[in-house]
Amino acid sequence: MASDIWSISGLIIVAGLLLFFYHDNGDVVEIANNWEKIISLPKRISKRIAIGLNVNLDLIVSGTKLLEELGEKPCNVISDQPVLDNLDHVQQCLAYSMQNCAGLERFFSNRSLFGVITDAAEKIDHEYFIGGNAALMAEKLVELSSKETTILLAGPIGTKLKQLLNPAIQTLEVKSSVQDEIHLILEYAKHEKWGTATATCANRIIFSHDISNSELSTLEELETHLKHFHPDLLVLAGAHLLDRYNEQFYKQRISRIATGLHNIPEHVPVHIELASTANMKFCELLSRTLLPLVDSVGLNEQELQFIAHSNAYPMKKSVEGFKAPEIGYLADLLYWMLTSHAGRLSRVHMHSLTFHIIAVVSDKWDNTESSVAAGARIAGLQACNLTQFSDDDFSLLVPQIISFSVDDEKLRRSPVIFSRDKPVLSWRRKDILFYFTPVLVCNQPVKTVGLGDAISSTALLHTQLQTNVV
């Protein structure tokens, strides 16, 4: 009898595990179709959008092929490096990124060696693309917006980059003295190997010896133009690049950004797009100083955890390697982020490989359900470079049983079963509303660069700050 009970219990456990982990890929098309029923533009969309500050030329190559071209053999050391000084650092950082599925962006301190690496990259299969969070967001917004929308892009734009930009984008005057900044994008495919590291997903590392963007050299010029441009949406990106400087310098520049943000009217929504940083003290200062002065933030799960960790959030899971944690845990971090940064902040869009969550302060934003669905939709399609979803090209990788919190007992004890019939789940925790949807993950990504920028831009266009009224 006892053995029968254990057999029955075992079957229940196995069944539960299957329910938790497995989905039929036939869900993909149905989820996409149900997104289409949800997605719509808000009643009023932004007509004058100002974006800055980091723009550059991306030189995209295979990370492993570039190291081979440079005559490097794997050093078999897997380690993140806050600043890259030599080729061993590049190897170690690439291996770390591959093993942890972590998209990293780092500064390369040796200018002459960076030139050597760039020359080697141009000798193998490579592509030049528009780069920099601000430029990529501007390109996506031009693509998605109506002809009535005017977009102003600020950043160090040289002649070659100007030729690549959509001609509909207004830029600050291109000066002959401004040189295009080159960023090296080292991509890798899922299961690709370098030494003892095996890539757990398709991703990339980025590094550069970029002075203009890292000093936010066009910040003051953008502020001058804003007085005449009168935007109804301001998007800032690139502040993370300051982390490579000493504390005195980055404090000065963060303070300068804050001074400018104080002058932005409350009815003009301000969005800041964050990116990877390795300096915990810098991250704490940036979040404490700037987040209360903006309305909206875009970031991924690694950046969310790093902000929480740098602000002494009582982490309940190891942040080493920033393994993808459970959905409820990230929701707890979003709740902390919105409730601990007093001021304007009322929206955070967290995007990860397999799902997105947008958290908003109640009654502050319209059309958020549509916004999170639109952001997730573009993530899969752009990664595969396709215009529609299919069951063969995409996978659904979220659990079927979803708990909305780890910290909140009531939410933790009320998990739900995800259904393709309702691809956006929503819940409330006090004054914070959450909207969750899976990403239909591309099985064979074509390009990973700029995906977060496309996601945030698309979601921004599909939402509206409620105080932004005529």
3-class DSSP assignment, residue 426: strand
3-class DSSP assignment, residue 164: helix
Which helix (H) or strand (E) covers residue 416, if one does? strand 416-417
> Is residue 453 annotated as a catalytic residue, yes or no?
yes
The terminus-to-terminus CA distance of the chain in angstroms comes to 73
DSSP 324-364: ---HHHHHHHHHHHHHHS-SS--EEEEE-SSEEEEEEETTS
Name the residue among 382, 395, 445 with its Cα closest to residue 28: 395
Burial of residue 252, with CB atoms counted within 10 A of its CB: 0-12 exposed, 13-18 middle, 19 or more buried:
exposed
Please tell me the distance from the alpha carbon of residue 333 to that of residue 309, in angstroms, as a whole number. 10
Cα-Cα-Cα-Cα dihedral sign, residues 82, 359, 398, 329: positive
Burial 13-45 (b: 16+ CB within 10 A, else e): eeeeeeeeeebeeebbbbbbebbeebbebbeeb
| Strand residues in 248-329 grouped as ranges (E) | 270-273, 296-300
Please tell me the distance from the alpha carbon of residue 398 to that of residue 214, in angstroms, as a whole number. 36
Please tell me the distance from the alpha carbon of residue 222 to that of residue 52, in angstroms, as a whole number. 7
Burial of residue 259, with CB atoms counted within 10 A of its CB: 0-12 exposed, 13-18 middle, 19 or more buried:
exposed
Which residues participate in catalysis according to the annotation? 453
